[in-house]
Chains A and B, each alone.
Chain A
Amino acid sequence: MATIADWLGAACLIAGALLGLAAGVGVLRFPDALSRMHAATKPQVLGVLLLLLGIALRLRSPADLGMILLVAVFQLATAPVAAQMIGRAAYRSGRLDRGLLDADELAERGPGGGSAGPA
């Protein structure tokens, strides 16, 4: 028997997979590393969270919910850190298209955005 929670879970799963697909198209089509990083992280995190919500809506047992919550917290905590480090490395190694930048606030600190702090 399919209940409302099952249908909601299915909708969340498909929406999450669609967001992942959007991230995939962005990663393949965007011109430089910075915009690829943007495309990979933002729809990706929301997509994984939606998929986890779909799993939670279909499993519905407390122990499973705890583990799903753990994965969601890991994703939310680690994705911004990884994206920040990837963006920093991309800027430093010059993998960006300066014509696409609206503002370059690190330019006045010299090439590579200054060397204060690690990576």
Chain B
Amino acid sequence: MNTFLAVVLTVLLSVTALLALARLYRGPSLVDRVIAADMLLATMIGAVGAEAAVNRHATTLPVLVVLSLLGFVGSVSLVRFAVREQQ
């Protein structure tokens, strides 16, 4: 069961990350890139968490807390300051 679960989760999360990367590359504006970067970070939360769940260890759980806060601070500061600078 664990191997099957690992393969399915890897495929799904990798495709999600690739879709977010495609939007990050295509833009067209900074707002779209912020949205895509936010989503990429949330996919990373999912991937790190899924790895912890499949292998049944809790060593990477603090990383999830940090990533969760980093996504919020990053996107809010970009939207608050960089978008205004760009206009």
Contacts and interface: CB of A to CB of B under 8 A. Distances in A.
Interface string B12-30: 1101111110110000010
Given A51-B50, A64-B58, A93-B87, A81 B69 contact: no
Interface string A66-87: 0110110011001101100110
B76 A36 contact: no
- Name the prevailing secondary structure of the A interface residues: helix
B19 A95 contact: no
A55 B1 contact: no
Interface residues of A, number: 52
B8 A14 contact: yes
B20 A86 contact: no
- Name the prevailing secondary structure of the B interface residues: helix
B72 A81 contact: yes
A89 B8 contact: no
A106 interface: no
A55 B56 CA distance: 8
Given A40-B38, A58-B53, A82-B38, A13 B5 contact: yes
A93 B83 contact: yes
Given A51-B45, A63-B58, A89-B79, 15 more contacts: A10-B1, A13-B9, A14-B5, A21-B15, A24-B18, A33-B35, A36-B32, A48-B45, A64-B58, A74-B72, A85-B79, A86-B35, A89-B31, A95-B31, A119-B80
Contacts of B79: 82, 85-86, 88-89, 119
